[in-house]
Amino acid sequence: MVFEQYYLECLSHASYLVGDETTGRAVVVDPQRDVTGYLRDAERLGLTIERVIETHFHADFISGHLELAAATGAVISYGDVARPEYDVDLLADGQRLSLGQVQLEILHTPGHTPESISVVVYERPTDVVPYAVLTGDTLFIGDVGRPDLLSSVGVTADELGRQLYHSLHDKLLTLPDETRVFPAHGAGSACGKALSTETMSTIGEQRRANYALAPMSEDDFVEAVTQGQTVAPLYFAFNAAHNKRLRQTLEDTEPPQPMTWEQVVAARDAGAVVIDSRDERSFANGHLAGSVNVGLGGRFAEYAGDIVTAERDIVLVCEPGTELEAKVRLARIGMDRVLGHLENPQEALLAHPDEVRRASRLTPAELEGAYASVPGLQVVDVRNEGEHALGGLPGAVNIPLAAITTRLGELDPEAPTVVYCAGGYRSSTGASYLRSVGFRDVSDLLGGYGAWPSGLQLQQAGR
- How many C-beta atoms lie closer than 10 Å to residue 89's C-beta? 12
Q: Is the pLDDT higher at 156 or at 63? A: 63
Interior angle at CA 116, CA 113 and CA 120, nearest 5: 155
C-alpha count within 13 angstroms, C-beta hemisphere, residue 194 = 15
Q: Is the pLDDT of residue 399 over 60?
A: yes
How far apart CA 294 and CA 428 sit, in angstroms, is 8
pLDDT digits (tens, 9 = 90+) for 136-187: 999 999 999 989 877 546 678 999 999 999 999 999 999 999 999 999 999 8
How far apart CA 271 and CA 120 sit, in angstroms, is 48
Contact 248, 337 (CB under 8 A): no
- How many C-beta atoms lie closer than 10 Å to residue 19's C-beta? 26
β-bridge mates for residue 185, sequence order: 13
Q: Average pLDDT for residues 258-277, to the nearest whole number? A: 98
Comparing CA positions, the residue from 417, 297, 315 lying closest to residue 359 is 417
Comparing CA positions, the residue from 143, 161, 154 lying closest to residue 219 is 161
For strands 25-29 and 13-20, give the pairing: antiparallel
Q: Is the pLDDT of residue 339 over 60?
A: yes
Return the pLDDT at 188: 79
In this prediction the pTM is: 0.92
Running DSSP on this structure, what letter comes out for residue 15? E
- In one-letter notation, the amino acid at residue 319 is E
Say if residue 275 is exposed, middle or buried (CB neighbours under 10 Å; 0-12, 13-18, 19+): buried
What are the start-end ranges of the H helices in 271-424?
Answer: 280-285, 300-307, 323-331, 345-351, 364-373, 385-389
Running DSSP on this structure, what letter comes out for residue 203? H
Return the pLDDT at 25: 98
- How many C-beta atoms lie closer than 10 Å to residue 199's C-beta? 16
Return the pLDDT at 462: 28
- In one-letter notation, the amino acid at residue 53 is I
Q: Is the pLDDT of residue 415 over 70?
A: yes
Q: Average pLDDT for residues 198-213, to the nearest whole number? A: 96
> In the chain, what are the domains?
2-242 (3.60.15.10), 258-357 (3.40.250.10), 360-451 (3.40.250.10)
pLDDT digits (tens, 9 = 90+) for 313-336: 999 999 999 999 999 999 999 999
pLDDT digits (tens, 9 = 90+) for 216-248: 999 999 999 988 887 888 899 899 999 999 999
How far apart CA 21 and CA 234 sit, in angstroms, is 42
